[in-house]
Amino acid sequence: MRLVSWTPADLLRRLDDVIAAYGEAMGYSDELLATRRGYVAAHVHRPGFRAVATLTDEGALAGFGYGYTCRAGQWWHDQVNAALPPPRRQWLVDCFEIVELHVRPAAQGRQLGAAQLIALLATTPAATAVLSTPEADESGSRAWRLYRRFGFVDVLRQFHFPGDGRPFAVLGRRLPLTAEAGRPGATSTRPAAGPAADRIRSG
């Protein structure tokens, strides 16, 4: 396996593989994936776009991740911002949104998701990183364990995006990543709450 950075052109060139990997990881229907294809193709033009991919020695796509600068006027930003109490809106002021981060099921369990997350956040100048993920049993969900291990805390819980019946959690963490980020025992897995969670720029 090798981890590489992708330009917008790289991702568009491998868009079929990206959508296939996304579908395998999320278990989505072909109909939903057809819609998602258009969204992904449009996302590469967003400010601050960054993408990474994990490739096998034969060049097959084992996983990928991408994100961009989170700004007012973007659908995700505006939905979340409207639902947050004013103190928590600081999370979105100078923010990198992790839009997608996936590893194909056959390649999971090899720390590929962690490597993709580190690489994706290594070069963004943003003060915070945010993402949304379906609510799940934190102890049993691979994605939740990954985000908690990297110090992501609760920003908003049990949120419903329009058109999706599932509840989502919005998680965030301050940047940059420390050298210890992601190591077992390096960060608390307990969600922050109250004023301490709102003072995201404090030391």
CA 112 – CA 2 distance, rounded (Å): 10
Active site positions, annotated: 147
- Write out pLDDT tens, residues 117-170: 999 999 899 999 999 999 988 877 899 999 999 999 999 999 999 988 889 999
pLDDT above 70: residue 189: no
The whole domain housing 192 covers: 2-198
Count of domains observed in the chain: 1
What pLDDT was estimated at residue 138? 80
What six digits make up the tokens of 3?
A: 């981890």
Give a yes or no: residue 7 inside a domain.
Answer: yes
**What is the band of 179 on the pLDDT scale with cuts at 50, 70, 90?**
low
**Rounded Cα gap, residues 183 and 40, in angstroms:** 31
Helices 142-149 and 112-121: crossing angle in degrees, nearest 10, is 40
Query: Which among 122, 5, 146 has a CA at the least distance from the CA of 64?
Result: 5
CATH number at residue 26: 3.40.630.30
* Spatial distance between the Cα atoms of 133 and 148, rounded to a whole number of angstroms: 12
Quote the CA–CA distance of 19 and 11 in Å, as a whole number: 10
What's the pLDDT at 180?
65
What's the rounded mean pLDDT across residues 81-88?
97
Pick the closest to residue 83 from 20, 159, 10, 25 (CA basis).
159
Q: Does the residue 123 lie in any domain?
A: yes
Measured CA to CA, the distance from residue 143 to residue 52 in angstroms comes to: 17
Per-residue pLDDT, averaged over 43-48, amounts to 97
- Contacts (Cβ under 8 Å, ≥6 apart) of 100: 22, 40, 64, 65, 66, 67
Whether residue 203 lies inside any domain: the answer is no
- Looking at the domain assignment, is residue 47 inside a domain? yes
32 domain residue, yes or no: yes
CA distance 83 to 21: 31
